[in-house]
Amino acid sequence: MELILLPKKSEGLCLEKIYQRALSKSKELYIVSAYLTEWGIAEELGSQCESFLFIVGKDFGITRKDACRAVMKWLPADRHQEFMVAESINGFHPKAMFWKELDGRCYALLGSSNLTQAAFSTNFEANGFACITDEQFQLASEWIEKVFEVSVTLNETWLDKYHEARQPADKNGEKGAKPDASIEAYRLPLPAIRRLKGYKSYLIQRRDQMKVFRKNRATLVELFRTTSRIRNWNQTRIDDFYYKMSTLWFFGENGSRFQGKGWERKGRNSDFRELSKSLVRVIDAPFAARDRMVIQEINRLTVMRNPTRGALFSEMLCQLFPNYYYVLNRPVLDWFASLDIAFPRGLSKGERYVNRARLLRAALKRADDYPAENLAELDCLIWFASTLSA
């Protein structure tokens, strides 16, 4: 490990050069910062970076809105969804960067420096920079994934709800009180269990459906992979896919399908090859790039006007990754509408879907003793709640 002790630079090695290296050479890059008060990095995030996450904390209102907006301006437009805030973590205090370069070597930068010019130059700071093993990088990635699961998109809507601590002293020389560390900009409520009498049988049924899906998962994934590689797509191929899909995934007794009939009528003759391509791309994406891939593929299928882009695609996502994605159905959409959750204007359908998914993940993670263990089970409770209010 090399030490970077500031304000004196360590024999030519400085934080700016390390950040430049990570941004320009990384294949995977994760930045976590307890708070963000400035952003002065000029180096662009290179197109070679396939998997990227930048997660900041919000405790006590220390993070500054202007710094966040500077990051959003710095990031390419298609990377905005990878700038996140640890919404449901109190006591989020890391200052670290982990990355893997194109040649496969992995690195870590850990220390006291925040992302400010003073921390890079004049402050007394101690940091360590090292090449790490694949096993250590994997351990760091798994830790980042846990943070990612309880983080939400940092965008203008979040900033509008976020309360900064007042920094300048008032006329009496006193600074404003810091916001409570536990205050969240988005406090997404879940369906109140005390009002859902009789939900347990439905939840048991949902878990049984998921067990059936898990049994057939490998065969389904292989069907998607095989279909995605077909060159000559014709009616015979469509019928063949439809038959195989229907035997592996169906509604009713001993079935795994969450939703009732619908796609048979609307999407029987869809280009299931394109659906399969999208699913395979999501399945093969690393966790940090998966949300980005979901956004891209929902938008791609939308442009193609593929009838499977909604309920069928989202149910496959929910079944394949029940901790991460929900079924895009009317009960969920109506429930969000009732909560008056606003999103920034101009979001694509894919971005809106992922933003909702992140809010649901964070809400479920923070809920104590809630019966739903993942978004697939939460979907069941939201659906059940909708039947009671209908």
50 with 289: CB under 8 angstroms?
Answer: yes
Q: How many CB atoms lie within 10 A of CB 159?
A: 18
Q: Give the span between the Cα atoms of 91 and 89, in whole angstroms.
A: 6
Please state the pTM of the whole predicted model.
0.85
Q: Which residues pair with 129 in a beta bridge?
A: 2, 109
Q: Give the span between the Cα atoms of 50 and 130, in whole angstroms.
A: 22
Place of tokens 């049994």: 215
> N- to C-terminal Cα distance for the chain?
62
How long is the chain? Answer: 390
> Minimal CA–CA distance to 101: which of 70, 57, 131?
131
Q: Does residue 368 have a pLDDT over 70?
A: yes
DSSP string, 142-211: HHHHHHHHT-EE-SHHHHHH--PPP-S--TTS-PPPPPPTT--S--PPPPPGGG-TTHHHHHHHHHHHHH
List domains and CATH numbers for the chain: 2-161 (3.30.870.10), 193-389 (no CATH)
Question: What does DSSP assign to residue 308?
Answer: G
Residue 4, φ and ψ in degrees, nearest 5 = -120, 100
* Predicted pLDDT of residue 339: 84
Q: Give the span between the Cα atoms of 109 and 99, in whole angstroms.
A: 9
Question: What does DSSP assign to residue 324?
Answer: T
Radius of gyration of the CA atoms of the chain, in A: 23
* Predicted pLDDT of residue 55: 96
User: From edge to edge, which strands make up the β-sheet containing 83-85?
Assistant: 2-6, 125-132, 106-111, 95-101, 26-33, 51-56, 83-85, 152-153
Q: Give the span between the Cα atoms of 279 and 294, in whole angstroms.
A: 9
Q: Does residue 262 have a pLDDT over 70?
A: no
Q: Give the span between the Cα atoms of 316 and 235, in whole angstroms.
A: 23
Across 225-241, average pLDDT = 91
Q: Which residues pair with 97 in a beta bridge?
A: 31, 109
Q: Does residue 273 have a pLDDT over 90?
A: yes
80 with 315: CB under 8 angstroms?
Answer: no
Q: Does residue 388 have a pLDDT over 70?
A: yes
Confidence tier at 268 by pLDDT (50, 70, 90): low
pLDDT (tens digit per residue) in 195-222: 888 999 999 999 999 999 999 999 999 9
pLDDT (tens digit per residue) in 310-336: 888 999 999 999 999 999 988 999 988
Place of tokens 């109140």: 192
Confidence tier at 183 by pLDDT (50, 70, 90): low
* Predicted pLDDT of residue 98: 97
